[in-house]
Amino acid sequence: MKQSIHIPVVNQAFEIYDFSQKNQSYDKLKKYNESAERFYQLDPLFRLHTHDVIEILVFLGGDCDFFCEGKTYTLRRGDVVVVPPNAVHQATVKNIDHYERIIINISNQLMADYVTVAPAMNENIVYQKTLGSYVLHLNAVCFQEIISLLQEITNRIKNGEENFSFTLQYLLFQVLQVITNPASSLPTQNKKEEHDQRLVSILEYIESHLTEHDLSLDKVSNHFHLNKYYFSHYFKKHMNLPFYRYVSLKRLSFAVTMIKQKQIPIEKIALKCGFPDYSSFYRLFKKEYNLSPKNLQKEYNS
């Protein structure tokens, strides 16, 4: 099984990648998307990975099963996947040449600004989360509206407009308003979506106890009254990776966000994220991202 990875997003505002038949060249977009190099390494995008920001995938066409936090969705044109920060996810594609999508990564700060201006947007995001689904299927009119807005954004970036400009951020704000509006979505009929309420409860429990040092396979299995060997097999089967690796990925992703904020020393970040000590944190971080925590911080600040 291939290793899971984390793809840090280094841009201060947002990043957009148009992987469609109409946009075969990414040279100009690359100029304004500092971490674009990582997106050209297609292999990492098709194994389990995380981001420390919100990711939105607008599905245009192809044959794709999308896995996110224990659920699998068969995507169809009109679907929009909203992946929250630090969520473990993966796209399984039969033919990369026919897999068309637009990917948007939005910084936590910009997203916070948006929901401050439009509180209803946050309410709709929270409501969608209560439904337990990461995929929205937009009606044809709303889907075409966001495609037009996103094309306007990519065209402006190609023409040299910086992606922190007011105009581009306002266009993206309009995109999010359409996506998060419940009136834009059709009832879901995705037959391959896997529902497992026990798994949902387990993931919620892990999330709420993620930074506790004593979070362990024994503790979680005992909480749910499951044999630890059965639980270990059950978790790996449904999540595509072992329990300890999942916890480490989530903690490391959380740490990346704090490292970029540069508010407290990295040694303290390690402890706040649930790692027993800095040395174990450093070892896992270097193995996962192929660079040290301090070098990641320097890369982001530069």
pLDDT tens digit sequence for 43-83: 556 778 888 889 999 999 999 999 988 888 999 999 999 99
Phi and psi torsions of 103, nearest 5°? -110, 130
pLDDT in tens, 7-56: 555 456 898 988 887 765 444 444 445 444 444 445 556 778 888 889 99
Cα angle for residues 120, 130, 212 (degrees, 5° grid): 105
- Where are any strands of DSSP class E within the chain? 5-6, 14-19, 49-50, 54-61, 64-68, 71-74, 79-83, 89-93, 100-106, 135-137
**CA 230/CA 228 separation, integer angstroms:** 5
Tell me which residue has tokens 């709303």: 142
**Residue 140: how many CB atoms within 10 A of its CB?**
10
pLDDT in tens, 255-280: 888 888 788 899 999 999 999 999 99
Q: For position 192, what pLDDT does the model report?
A: 46
pTM for the model: 0.75
CB 102 within 8 A of CB 16: yes
pLDDT in tens, 131-161: 778 899 999 999 999 999 999 999 998 888 8
pLDDT in tens, 168-201: 999 999 999 999 998 888 765 544 444 577 888 8
- Which residue ranges form the domains of the chain, and what is each CATH number? 5-184 (2.60.120.280), 197-301 (1.10.10.60)
Q: How far is CA 8 from the centre of its chain?
A: 10
pLDDT in tens, 75-124: 999 999 999 888 889 898 888 888 999 999 998 889 999 999 888 888 88
pLDDT in tens, 198-228: 888 898 899 899 999 999 999 999 999 999 9
